[in-house]
Amino acid sequence: MRQVSEMIELLESRGRRRYGGEPVSRLEHALQAAQRAERAGAPDWLIVAALLHDVGHLLDPREPAPGDDGHHERLGARFAAPRLGRPIARVIALHVKAKRYLCAIDPGYREALSPASARSLILQGGPLAPMEVEAFERLPYHREAVQLRRWDDEAKVPGLATSDLGHHRSRLEDALRRATAAD
């Protein structure tokens, strides 16, 4: 499947760059997030979302300037929707808001953020306000986005052994087939 090969190529070619201020590359981060999802027993579609949650960073060839969040979650969701379907795109779209949500409801969560993630939180709007928390909790796929967010935060371990992208090919192909069949 050509589109799956293109997704894998995108991750391999642009994912080698360092992931912001984190001690891993973007590809390592993606593979670690997918591994966390897999080990948690997540369904395949959510493992795919974990693998591609930051694909928006790879689609934008420039590095965001200081003070520019880049809105990678929107770019990623627009990329995923026609290829992989609405549930995957929706979780990708919500993963930044899920961080803001967790910061609003759990002070310990905010304190545990990596320095780079704490900096980006400010650019992303900070913790959600109480009314925003309630609105977020009513959104479809908000629970999955929160879980993805936790895997995202844990996926920053230098040198962690993971499966390669080939391990996820069949999941990507299945998501593509399902999205195509739904149209």
What percentage of residues in the chain have a pLDDT greater than 70? 94
The conformation of residue 25, written as its DSSP 8-state character, comes to: B
Least confident of 53-62, 129-138, 157-166: 53-62
pLDDT band at 62 (very low <50, low <70, confident <90, very high): low
Q: Can you tell me the distance from the alpha carbon of 158 to that of 21, in angstroms, rounded to the nearest whole number? A: 12
Q: Domains of the chain by range and CATH?
A: 2-182 (1.10.3210.10)
What's the sign of the alpha-carbon dihedral 109, 110, 116, 122?
A: positive
87-100 per-position pLDDT tens digit: 999 999 999 999 99
Closest-CA residue to 115 (of 15, 17, 18, 21): 21
Q: Tell me: the pLDDT tens digits for 126-136?
A: 999 999 999 99
Per-residue pLDDT, 64? 53
For residue 181, the tally of other CB atoms under 10 A from its CB is 8
**Burial class of residue 168 in the structure, from the number of CB atoms within 10 Å of its CB (0-12 exposed, 13-18 middle, 19+ buried):** buried
What was the pLDDT predicted at 116? 87
Per this entry, what is the length of the chain? 183
Please identify which residue in the block is written with the tokens 């694909």. Answer: 55
Tell me the pTM.
Answer: 0.93
